[in-house]
Amino acid sequence: MRMNRRSFLQLATLAGGGMALRLYHLPALDAQEKLPELTPQAFVHIAPDGTTTIMARASESGQGMRNMLPMLIAEEFDVDWKSVRVQQADLDESRYGRQFSGGSMNTPLGWDPMRRVGAAARQLLIATAAERWNLPASACTTAHGRVLHKASGRSASYGELATDAASRKAPALDSVALKDPGEYRIIGHSTQGVDIPAITTGKPLFGIDVQLPGMLYASIQKAPVFAGTVKSANLDEIRRMPGIRHVFVIEGTIRPSAFTPWEPGMEPGIAIVADTWWQAQTARSQLKVDWDLGPAASQSSEGFRQRAKELLAQPPGNTVRAYGNVESSLHAAAKVVQATYEYPFIAHMTMEAQGATAHWKDGRMEMWSTSTQPENGRELVAQTLGIDKSVITTHMIRSGGSFGRRLQNDYLVEAAWIAKRVDAPVKLLWSREDDISHDGLRPGGTMGLTGGLDAQGRLTHWRQHFITFGENHHLASGGGIGADSYPAGFVPAYAMYTSAQPLMLRTGALRAPGDNAYCWVAQSFLDEMAFASGRDPLEFQLELLGNQRVPWTVGQPDAVGDHEPTGPSVLVPERFKGVLQLVAEKSGWATRKKQPGRGMGIAAWFCHLGYFAEVADVSVDKDNNVTVHNVWAAGDIGSQIINPRAAENMVQGGIMDGMSALGQEITLANGRIEQSNFHNHPILRMRQTPKIEVFWNRTHYAPTGLGEPSLPPVLPAVTNAIFAATGRRVRTLPLQRSGFNWA
């Protein structure tokens, strides 16, 4: 499993001097080197009646991890899925390896080791049976949870062998043989989400549902401006209100600067602990706080826009990548196109707002956490509270969505901080308004683009100046860009620059971080260039992908894989073309009708090891209301779609998520976030849902993840379709700022 860490880091390696890792920098990864090898005993437990319990090591927030990873184990263990019970593991990376969910990495990082864990468990049982029967292990085989010796007709169930097997030493994972994919009976066959019956019947399941005897409820009032501190407040009055048990001032040590995830430091505020959450909220509404708002109160979206304009007109601050002498050769292009693209800050808005439950008792901290990065959460709690990591137990609880938000552990630290001061378990819950105004926002950005075409209408030049947030090389989390981001390498002359303006705000990774914005810019501008060349955008892009690539050497990934290649972290043009051609075929791209007010747009992207191409069929009425009628999606995530029905759902969800983002915007005035709830930071509704068809292009690469790559292409597919329908180019998001609205 040596490859995992290395290839992961390469994935995250973006140019611009180390800023890259900030997208998905994992403190836990560094510890990974020291972790012991995984054992089958950690993951697989067999009851005498043959019931197999498989531990799910990763956190579940709707991406299907409680199915996908156990399915890999069950397949190689050779049991029937219906005899498997899945149990969520507590946090223990020394036992389970990395328990992290992010960057669509659970599939590529789990594909090999989880199958090997299953195969090693199977081998243990074979060895046990062989010894019992006094036969060589090689003479035995398995099927449906039994070890068989075909020649003699002997067989024993896993349940009968389990006790003896448990004390045997497991074979090294590297040594076990894996099934031929042709034999798969679980991988590639849809399994029902393991929690679905609990969901449909309303059983306690989510972070917000945790109930403990004597539990109290907490709510926190923070300053309306990031990192603002408490000068004074009517705390005594609040303490006298019904049901109030405690009121604490959180001094907070977070600095008013571009927030860096995974740095310790709490946001200041006032924590109210009560018998019920409603009582805490009611008391909170009576708070009168004198805040020191600090320097962040001067920030505004208008100010950001002005500064971006100035920076765009100035020489860039940093060169991410440049080759082919763009600056000196652009004048030779037959046609030059210039455009400025702008996209806003947006919020995660997980359906379940942030929160956590914690209990400090007898010098130990027990936490019920929805974090997708739980080990980091444990470390931050230990640091912030000054307690030893070893006294912290973390239960990993299903969450109502993450989309990157739960990579950050701020709410968990808050819950633990309060719990340490209270003689009872405490459930902290943020209100929806808290959730939006203290989100780790997807940072906005401005891109100045210049493209050049030769006389034959081929793309020859691409110059891009990205105005982002941060200081010098220290960019805001989620505000970096990759030096190898498409179409870098494929355009003969290319330059990518960045300039940054300061930010005092919490930002972070939002589903397909970076790509969720940059794909929209790149694929929109490619569409513009295709239009300028008078050619079909599909043909234009296929030609570009056929170009001899200019290699990128700084941090250039090498071939990865010890056992099987995990999808290379550099774009493979054939795969990119493959999804484009498949989606063109399925959508009838070549024979699409051109009519006023209705159009189709195409776009594709490679990110998080996956390839997606999408076509949107859109109409725009005379009042500029936009309806998306159909979306076709073609994906290439390798050789196997591990859980097909869940995979299709995930792709459809990614498309809805991307479409929602087209209409969302977080704005600041006087340092305050102006949006407060779903009514002014909307998510699309059922009546706005198009027909979405999903197609797979199977390739020989090992399977990769699906949480993220389906999202990015739909944004430009829709805006390119708006152009096809109206002749008007959407260069500013949200759509409303370009004169369009969702119907």
Partner 1 sequence: MLFKLKVNQRIETVDVSPDTPLLWVLRDVLHLVGTKYGCGMGVCGACTVHLGDQAIRSCSIPVSALGDQPITTIEGLAEAERHPVQLAWESLDVPQCGYCQAGQIMSATALLHHTPHPTVEDIDAAMSGNLCRCGTYTRIREAIQHAAGLGHAAAAHKTAHGA
- Chain residues binding partner 1 by CB under 8 A are 61-64, 190, 192-193, 195-197, 199-206, 208-209, 211, 217, 242, 276-279, 282, 349-353, 398-401, 403, 429, 431-432, 645-646, 649-650, 652-657, 660, 677-679, 683-687, 689, 691-692
Closest CA to 654 of 706, 717, 584: 706
Q: Letter for the amino acid at 579?
A: V
> Which residue's CB is nearer to partner 1, number 377 or number 658?
658
> Which residue's CB is nearer to partner 1, number 380 or number 692?
692
The Cβ of residue 337 has, within 10 Å, a number of other Cβ atoms equal to 17
Q: How far is the CB of 44 from partner 1 (least distance, A)?
A: 25
- Sequence-distant (6+) residues with CB within 8 A of 50 are 83, 145, 157, 158, 159
Backbone angles phi, psi at 666, to 5 degrees: -105, 125
Q: Which entry of ligand FES, partner 1, none binds 46, CB below 5 to 8 A by partner kind?
A: none
Structural contact between residues 642 and 187, judged by C-beta atoms closer than 8 angstroms: yes
**Residue closest to ligand FES (Cβ):** 351
Residues 370 and 414: their CA atoms lie apart, in Å, by 13
Q: Which entry of ligand FES, partner 1, none binds 261, CB below 5 to 8 A by partner kind?
A: none
> Which residue's CB is nearer to partner 1, number 318 or number 370?
370
Q: How far is the CB of 360 from partner 1 (least distance, A)?
A: 21
> Which residue's CB is nearer to ligand FES, number 62 or number 537?
62
Q: How far is the CB of 657 from ligand FES (least distance, A)?
A: 10
Which residues of the shown chain bind ligand FES in the complex (CB under 6 A)? 62, 351, 401
Place of tokens 């012991």: 36
Helix-, strand-, coil-residue percentages of the chain, each rounded to 5: 35, 25, 40
H-helix or E-strand containing 73?
helix 65-77
Pairing of strands 335-343, 445-453: antiparallel
- Sequence-distant (6+) residues with CB within 8 A of 313 are none
> Which residue's CB is nearer to partner 1, number 130 or number 212?
212
Q: How far is the CB of 619 from partner 1 (least distance, A)?
A: 17
Q: Which entry of ligand FES, partner 1, none binds 431, CB below 5 to 8 A by partner kind?
A: partner 1
Q: How far is the CB of 403 from partner 1 (least distance, A)?
A: 8
Residues 487 and 490: their CA atoms lie apart, in Å, by 6
Q: How far is the CB of 682 from partner 1 (least distance, A)?
A: 9
Residues 684 and 652: their CA atoms lie apart, in Å, by 13
Q: How far is the CB of 634 from partner 1 (least distance, A)?
A: 17
332 by DSSP, 3-state: which? helix
Q: How far is the CB of 206 from ligand FES (least distance, A)?
A: 10
Structural contact between residues 583 and 589, judged by C-beta atoms closer than 8 angstroms: yes
Residues 371 and 369: their CA atoms lie apart, in Å, by 5
> Which residue's CB is nearer to ligand FES, number 247 or number 407?
407
> Which residue's CB is nearer to partner 1, number 333 or number 714?
714
Q: How far is the CB of 531 from ligand FES (least distance, A)?
A: 37
Structural contact between residues 12 and 23, judged by C-beta atoms closer than 8 angstroms: yes
> Which residue's CB is nearer to ligand FES, number 122 or number 348?
348
> Which residue's CB is nearer to partner 1, number 381 or number 429?
429
Q: Which entry of ligand FES, partner 1, none binds 278, CB below 5 to 8 A by partner kind?
A: partner 1
Q: Which entry of partner 1, ligand FES, none binds 399, CB below 5 to 8 A by partner kind?
A: partner 1
Residues 583 and 586: their CA atoms lie apart, in Å, by 5
Q: Which entry of partner 1, ligand FES, none binds 650, CB below 5 to 8 A by partner kind?
A: partner 1
The Cβ of residue 196 has, within 10 Å, a number of other Cβ atoms equal to 10
